[in-house]
């Protein structure tokens, strides 16, 4: 009887451990981040001079557009269309709980931006001495 109780206890422990180890991807990054994001708005807020606070809508058409494509292999491509010509920058991203670091392939520099994410909205922000710059994207 004692052997049966020990066997059942061990089996229950194995089952609990198996169920607690879910099948996540291990990187802890919200899957909503991955996809194609189109810039909608550029905003300046919390400016030292309150009259500098502003918001400008961005269009995406055959002449101008800004998109960021982020993939689950932690790569990105930023495509900016200016006067109908696309210019592209590709690289890697490093994602923490509140920031994304963009590491271009063809440069030694990087850019770190704060981010907020919902299913269909991404806000990237940069806090400067003068203002907070916000770049609002949608899927």
pLDDT tens figures, 73-97:
999 999 999 999 999 999 999 999 9
Structure confidence by residue, pLDDT tens digits, 20-71 = 343 344 467 899 999 999 999 999 999 999 999 999 999 899 999 999 999 9
Mean pLDDT throughout 9-13?
Answer: 36
- pTM for the predicted model, two decimal places: 0.75
Q: Are 101 and 1 in contact (CB under 8 A)?
A: no
* Cβ neighbours, 10 Å, residue 39: 22
For residues 90 and 6, the model is more confident at 90
Start-to-end C-alpha separation, the chain: 61
Domains of the chain with bracketed CATH: 25-138 (2.40.128.280)
Tokens of 97: 């709980």
46 φ, ψ (degrees, to nearest 5): 55, 35
Cβ-in-10-Å burial (0-12, 13-18, 19+) of 89 comes to middle
Tokens of 39: 């810039």
Residue 10 has pLDDT above 90, yes or no: no
3-state secondary structure of 35: strand
Residue 13 has pLDDT above 70, yes or no: no
pLDDT of residue 27: 64
């Amino acid at each position: 009887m004692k052997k049966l109780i020990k066997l059942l206890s061990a089996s229950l422990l194995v089952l609990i451990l198996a169920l607690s180890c879910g099948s996540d991807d291990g990187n802890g990054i919200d899957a909503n981040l991955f996809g194609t994001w189109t810039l909608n708005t550029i905003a300046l807020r919390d400016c030292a001079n309150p009259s500098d606070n502003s918001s400008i809508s961005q269009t995406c058409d055959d002449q101008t557009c800004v998109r960021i494509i982020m993939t689950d292999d932690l790569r990105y491509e930023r495509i900016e269309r200016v006067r109908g010509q696309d210019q592209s920058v590709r690289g890697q991203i490093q994602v923490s709980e509140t920031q994304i670091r963009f590491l271009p392939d063809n440069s030694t520099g990087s850019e770190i931006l704060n981010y907020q994410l919902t299913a269909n909205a991404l806000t990237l922000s940069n806090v400067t001495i003068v203002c907070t710059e916000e770049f609002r994207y949608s899927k």
